[in-house]
Structure 1
């Protein structure tokens, strides 16, 4: 009898402990996220697709292989979605934006696809650094993004609330070869295929550390005739250009400091796309991805160089603070960057640079709160959200004013960009870096 009572008592204790554990787990899972520094964020750098041209999608109904967002546990990859189902990518994106308090996002595909080389048969690469195999231009990446937008619109055609959420997404064209003089024709083709979808061009891949080294054929640079054509087209049609152009070559280690020798190329593109120069009627707006930084880019006084660029071109250039620049340059020298951002409060943006993994948006943007908290209160909201939102609102209004669509761009069926324009652009030779080096040395 005593043993029976002891057993009953033990069971009661175990049930009680189990209840405490379950209650704690429920409380933990339902507790709100830590308080954010601001209420509204914008993400200026989202890749809906990865280097295999797939990415997360809403899969909570388990219709497709993989987890809640489609990731397959054994390979880490995602299945391709058929016609009519591609809007699931937009659903996952919108859910992730809501969780991250992101009210506006610049969204593109991925301009490259990673080749699986026969020399590396051991494991299929998913990221550009996973193996030494080459990357190739992904010409259909914009089709995937445009189709996702259309599938979402068709699915929710009778749901105004769902459709209104698309206003927060600003799709961008990136699937072209930046060394192809005919690249602008492909952009025009995509605009006509998906009218009133696109609001930007980019991420344009110019100089990009090891990614540049892995590309096949001609290597891109900012002052290339193909980009002169693309960027002049963009300016004339009020499309910002988001461009990745490293400020310097890669270094072998963190102590090997390089001069910003690639900066002059970017300046030459800015000058060529500046109102009044070379017959340019409308200055092109540029978002400089990652502030000109990527992996293994080591220069001194990055904040000085950004200051010098904005001093001359603040009417054209916006600074994207996404990816490695935050940890490598901004946070280690926070005081200087706060001073710089305060000097140009309308020209800085933050971004996650997620690559096909939109569910990581919240996690990736949270480290920016340290920067935002250090900024004056009247500037925080600008950097976190307003600068991005205001730029795209202005560009949208200009397109509408000029009969180029209500939000995304549309072109008339007979529109064509002349084969004679900017094929041999007269880039003005820049000595921007050299002049500032002399200034630095004299200080």
Structure 2
């Protein structure tokens, strides 16, 4: 505990201001949009009837018109520049929160604000894309501004992971906007209360839809991030659960990585929050992750954003530091800021205790280098495979057979 207190004091800058100012970051998990498919944008010029971040007096975001969606990115890029963030994975939000009639008295903004259901948001990726398209059009004559887009890495997330045709929608988005997309995710599997509020079929990691998506991701070298809880939620901190959902995730990795004989077709996987969410209580979880990384360290990265940092890492710092030192190339940090780029700096500051506890080489890997290597490696592989430089472009003759990824189902 004393060690944690000392590190915490250092993290808030009482004797570590130089480190804090110089530290570079990579954000592996940022949502440009929230659960209402809205989000902050740059209104510092006062062009619209809202504050500098896009909020109106009623607490809702102003709806940007055609040609003005670039403002979502100018504000984000300013945050990145002023806080030494070299790369950001940017995605929309795969769900939209419904405002149900029986909750008419409270218009929700977050998925936990009410018991109203959440529904798939198939157009979320279109909103992300138009922000990039508007930006390129707005600054087409400004090479320096256009160059800044290189540090943003848009991922496709609006996929129904219980739909065997979800991979076809991903291909459709890529064809609609060639050269834009650099990955897939955050794809949703088991997610505690969010799963409970979802309408229709509930996802799981080894669902054939996700197997198809992951196989496609490996084939075209798109990194893929997934939220899959390792266990059901507990009623309190003393109710320890077994990792009952872990085998579903391991099935997915086994089918798409270990059983894929061609290493160039194995997907690069980012496990969001390292499998942890609210009210998930697992004993000695670092040991579980150690066993997983022992088998999948070449393809699996652990995203330490959100509750896993406070609920697991900082409660057992020494063991987590040992785990990170054992697998220094497999850990990423992210903000998981939802629709608010202004929240990214605060979320990244939460990692200072952890980063201070690591040696300089490992610290730089976890803070930003691992993410950069992951993204650069994927881009280089796509180019070698003929899928274009930068974001992915699919040739017109690219197609997937209907049985793609369904071999196990066909054999039953």
Short-chain TM bin: over 0.9
* Structure 2 unaligned regions, length at least 5: 1-15
Equivalent residues in 2 for 1:126-275 (5 A)?
A: 126-274=109-257
C-alpha separation between the residues in 2 aligned to 1:43 and 1:197? 18
Q: Name whichever of 203-212 and 413-422 sits farther off.
A: 413-422
Give the 3-state SS of the residue equivalent to 2:386 in structure 1: coil
- Confirm or deny: 8 A CA contact 1:272 1:278 kept in the other structure: no
Q: How much is the aligned-residue C-alpha RMSD, in angstroms?
A: 1.7
Give the 3-state SS of the residue equivalent to 2:316 in structure 1: helix
C-alpha separation between the residues in 1 aligned to 2:410 and 2:293? 20
Give the 3-state SS of the residue equivalent to 2:103 in structure 1: coil
Is 2:36 the partner of 1:52? yes
C-alpha separation between the residues in 1 aligned to 2:408 and 2:237? 37
C-alpha separation between the residues in 2 aligned to 1:191 and 1:65? 34
Equivalent residues in 2 for 1:359-438 (5 A)?
A: 359-423=342-406, 425=408
- Confirm or deny: 8 A CA contact 1:221 1:265 kept in the other structure: yes
Report the alpha carbon displacement of residue 44 of structure 1 after superposing the two structures with TM: 0.5
- Confirm or deny: 8 A CA contact 2:40 2:55 kept in the other structure: yes
Is 2:44 the partner of 1:64? no
The TM-score, its normalising length taken from structure 2, stands at 0.93
- Confirm or deny: 8 A CA contact 2:260 2:266 kept in the other structure: no
Return closer, same or farther for 1:34/1:66 CA change in 2, 3 Å cut-off: farther
Larger radius of gyration: 1
Report the alpha carbon displacement of residue 315 of structure 1 after superposing the two structures with TM: 1.0
Give 2:334's match in structure 1, choosing from 347, 351, 360: 351
Instruction: Show the counterpart of 2:100.
Output: 117
Give deviations 1:140-192, integer Å, cap 9, x for gaps: 00000011011101111110100110010010000010000000010001001
Give 1:41's match in structure 2, choosing from 18, 25, 29: 25
Give the 3-state SS of the residue equivalent to 2:408 in structure 1: coil
Report the alpha carbon displacement of residue 416 of structure 1 after superposing the two structures with TM: 2.1
Give deviations 1:118-161, integer Å, cap 9, x for gaps: 01011110000000110000000000001101110111111010
C-alpha separation between the residues in 1 aligned to 2:363 and 2:139? 35
C-alpha separation between the residues in 2 aligned to 1:425 and 1:35? 55
Report the alpha carbon displacement of residue 35 of structure 1 after superposing the two structures with TM: 4.0
Equivalent residues in 2 for 1:279-358 (5 A)?
A: 282-358=265-341
Give 1:78's match in structure 2, choosing from 41, 61, 75: 61
- Count of residue pairs brought into register by the alignment: 395
Report the alpha carbon displacement of residue 74 of structure 1 after superposing the two structures with TM: 2.5
Give the 3-state SS of the residue equivalent to 1:242 in structure 2: strand
Give deviations 1:72-119, integer Å, cap 9, x for gaps: 2422x2122121111110111101112321110000000000000001
